[in-house]
Amino acid sequence: MEYRKEIDIMECELVYPPKEDTFLLLGCLTLRPGKKVLEMGCGTGLISCHIAAAGGVLTAADINPWAVECTRKNLQRNRLQGEVVESDLFANVGGSFDLLVFNPPYLAAEDEGILEKAWAGGATGLDVLAPFLEGVEEHLLPEGRILLLLSSEMEPKGLEALLSGFSHRRLGARRYFFEELWVEELQMP
């Protein structure tokens, strides 16, 4: 999906602002109107706003209440529709979706505050991705897809083990200094 300049995104205090990873994930996103989409960890809502603008039936979720408010405001200021919930992964998310999108926290760090939750993925970088992937089956419609932003900063063997439960393919990649970021599309086997 192409970045739409006409979508006006306000950045918010204590919320992860759109960065290279956000735009790489957005660029690999394809969607047919009417499809049910969950963006997990919506941050400012830039990706969520694009999903809604493309005709996706949007649910957005974030553990950070400031991100929930920020995404709601950005949907409103762009006159877009979507449900936004405060949720630790799927805890407060009901229903099933055609597409799950997640740019998860992945750096080897512990979260010490609400903003750090945007990037801190524990010692292996997989502390949030692993339970997310455990929960996906219950929330995927038949033929449903998962789109993930992944990083070479994640512990490779652990990541490989997590992905081995799915059929998966790489959609796009980019190198930023010493780090490689890529987007992986997953489906239930």
Ligand X SMILES: C[S@@+](CC[C@H](N)C(=O)[O-])C[C@H]1O[C@@H](n2cnc3c(N)ncnc32)[C@H](O)[C@@H]1O
List of residues contacting ligand X (CB under 6 A): 16, 18, 22, 25, 40-43, 46-47, 61-64, 67, 87-89, 103, 105, 117-119, 128
Q: How many other C-beta atoms can be found within 10 angstroms of the C-beta atom of residue 126? A: 22
Minimum distance of ligand X from residue 178's CB (angstroms)? 18
Compute the distance between CA of residue 175 and CA of residue 162 in angstroms, rounded to an integer: 22
Strand arrangement of the beta sheet that strand 179-187 belongs to: 83-86, 57-62, 36-40, 97-102, 140-151, 179-187, 167-176
Q: For residues 91 and 167, which CB has a smaller minimum distance to ligand X in the complex?
A: 91
Cβ at position 18, least distance to ligand X in Å: 5
Q: Are 146 and 98 in contact (CB under 8 A)?
A: no
**What residue type is 46 in one-letter code?**
L
Decide whether 111 or 155 has the Cβ nearer to ligand X. Answer: 111
Q: In the bound complex, which residue of the shown chain has the CB atom lying closest to ligand X? A: 41
| Least Å from the CB of residue 39 to ligand X | 6
CB of 88 to ligand X, least distance (A): 5
Q: Which is nearer to ligand X, 35 or 117 (CB)?
A: 117
Quick one: 75 or 167, whose CB is closer to ligand X? Answer: 75
Contact 189, 136 (CB under 8 A): no
